[in-house]
Structure 1
């Protein structure tokens, strides 16, 4: 007998006996075709080894759990697409369970608790779904753009202790197989859902089709880095390629609230890319941009345009969601909607200089957490509120507010997160606790997880400007402004403040005054901006402006 630590994939065909009873030869023929064209090649590509086959299932071992999860998702997406035109009552679908653990190989067979757990998780998965144990999830977290739903502890047959499980959040084409079988449309989820339709190639040159498709795929991939968004998989949205579509119909078919669409047109050595973000329910255009560029390095151009689109779309969606919540009447707020309301209250509190409204924001966020302990936005806003209570010395005990901010953000990490927003907020808290190295480490980790996160870049620049990294601060602040020039004023003001502080540190008084002036315009009630301007005016002799500030 040979022991081996492995990633274990257990797969089982749904409704095998029923389909065999209905059409034995046809079912076997289709199953063999799907295995030969999809299942086995995807396993081989990911480095998997099929250890055991049954009539309707298999056990597969991988050296990497990340590779196993990627293979499982690819299989489910490809199977769903392949069976899309098959009558619903005869479609072939699989459930997949994943675990990482010790297994025993003996004479071509496989044994052990790891195998049993993977098999029991598979039995709990949805048709077309992928479920994995907490042990597997901890190894995958932060190493994939996929998102997951925590299912809590499950009692599994013949497993002596409860097993915590997680479901992979797949696009509607895969995750809603059951709804498809019953003919029901997928419901629009609570958190923002986005479909990126294939960009149209408006050029006479058909080779630009690849460029248009590449931009679309990159936008889908990069938007998937934002955990607060649900992004529809490529296989689902590319079904609309080359078709004139009604966006409201797309919204209903895919279960999304927002749609990104665009076009590519080449003329000589120039290329024009247009993109727009649409609220599918109302049909209103929330954001639009045009990019005119020289077509020199096509890959660098594709990356530049993708980053610009992605970094602009994410904050515009958040603003639209806040507007939706604030404009609603008699709404039964979900935890997510409560968190959005808390975010709006916090912004308004800082704009007005209202201690009472900021405290209300913290309480609203606490209500959201009570409803969903994994609501990352609620933890973020509650931490944000307490952090500013400390900064502005509001309330009876500002130092206690800073400790409350730390406790709140650490609770989010206790339940497990790879959210760049959480790393950014923890970095800010650690900065004020005097743990500057850990602070910068967390802020930089946020950008590693999502290089398109404009707010994270701006707050990293702010911290770097205070910690002596002036050159890096200027680079990151300007990149944040370029990526998301339409951010909220409270965010833009921090970019200008970072640039002012970095310029002040290098002795460039003219640049300091320029950026400090913009920072004050954006956030007039924040005292540090005025103090910086007054100090600089002392060096330049601009006493009238110093008096004005």
Structure 2
């Protein structure tokens, strides 16, 4: 028998293994093997084959694959991690398999179908350096693909690894500025995507960016109730973490936030919103100063020390005007008594202030959110991520923490409601690097429904549902949902703001103004996100002077906020300040999304009354917002119409560049089949959907883009970009040639 010849060659090697495989097998051996088999059949094998690779070795917890192209190996790694992130996000509470992936380009030896050598060994060591869900590559890979793929790399330096003679230069992979392993990043969206709708609706899901003092904000009277006669007004300051471990801040924040949430549900109390007390965190300030700033009579301050399974909680209630201490108490308990301690603190407050409880309020105060303390701990971690800052990093972390809470206690209604809120945030902000819009919407609906199944009085779940009801043009349903949320939390500032926003878009402008005034009294030092909602409500209601003041304050805090500039430009136009309006519109027109066609497309349905939408769009037009992206004005003599448009489109492929911003482009390919199926590939995006030709325009619909809206635009013969044609759709401007 002839001896097999050893073959030495250059190859790209992908090494992958499952994080925590031994633990998963210990918890559920058969279930883990079934999951692994499904992942292999649905993700690993298909993606490897699609990218011209070959799996040459399988282990119980991973595999090794060889690729003739390092670019394809990198694409395969990104696709696997993107698919795994989507699978994990689609099943909250389920067991998750997370891969670590290493990629190396080096010399290998092939023998009888197997592959050996340093090229394989280095890939395996790089895999061990990756985070779960992440990718780590050798310098050789970085050098080859950095100009071929839209991928960013984070230098990890020279690292010594086992059984490799010399240190290796390793790089962690990031995509669109997002490190793999913290967020999946399957697609790129223009920075300006869905600006004002997202900004307007985010209050539903608890937006509170970087706490911020608003000088001159209206303040409630310190001696009388600003929201109803007979109520006692109180501010709950953030509890101090005195554990000596900053990692425990989330627990102290969760304790004070929990007290605020429970107390706002009492009709006899006026409780300042958590956003307005946040600026006092970590500061030494007298109760009198707090009372004067926030316009309350009583102030509760406290501290918490958490050490293993022991808790020490101190609380002090002060009547600010007289500086009289109403009561002070220290609780030394086991961690398992956390809910009992919260109940005792609330009962002390209720008793000291002589608050009369209804039977329903008394029953709600006795409700324990979960009997599983580990689930509650993960819930508090999620809350710390999802409330104070809203971005893709915190969204991803929040979902993971809520998910763990749900897995530990599948009957934890508040965790499902939090998952729904964060998923709605992701859908609103089009954070496709966390979840696709389609998956985020589905997950939010399912989680909110589960929360209400477990707790029919869960206000946060009603608020999350209202996001989609309003966006879908179901105004009556949205109003019913936010009214229910407000009734369940009569002292909740966000609930009042939610109600105001829905009423404003529904054309109930007088009631909307009244509701936002109540919200502002409950939140006298609002954060920019909250204040922006007030500015939007007042703009829609025609209170332009008030809206301008609010939006100018937000713009000063966040000068790059496109959505703030949009509404502020409308206010300036309404007030006749055309110079100021045009300064803002000049900035906005750098972004292809800032055009009347896009706003008309997105806002139709959001506004119940077409006349309200027409009035708002007329203000944007007066402010100088163009009709089409980047103020493109096609030559009507060169416009492609009728049969010529059909011939150019159907059964053809268009290849060219997409303009995301002035001077910023990326390649794209669009194909429309004879049965009007559409496929679109961008630099980092692949979409399938539908097409049609209507009124001499090409119309496209992709479920995972633009929230499923149809987009229609004209095609012009235009060689200004060195190509043959221009496609002008509301979302952006594309130049192309036909292939």
TM over 0.5: no
Q: Which has the higher contact order (CA 8 A, sep 6+)?
A: 2
TM-score range, shorter chain: 0.3 to 0.5
Q: Which protein is richer in strand relative to its size? A: 2
- For the pair shown, which has the larger CA radius of gyration, 1 or 2? 2
Q: Which protein is richer in helix relative to its size? A: 1
TM-score, normalised by the number of residues in structure 2: 0.30
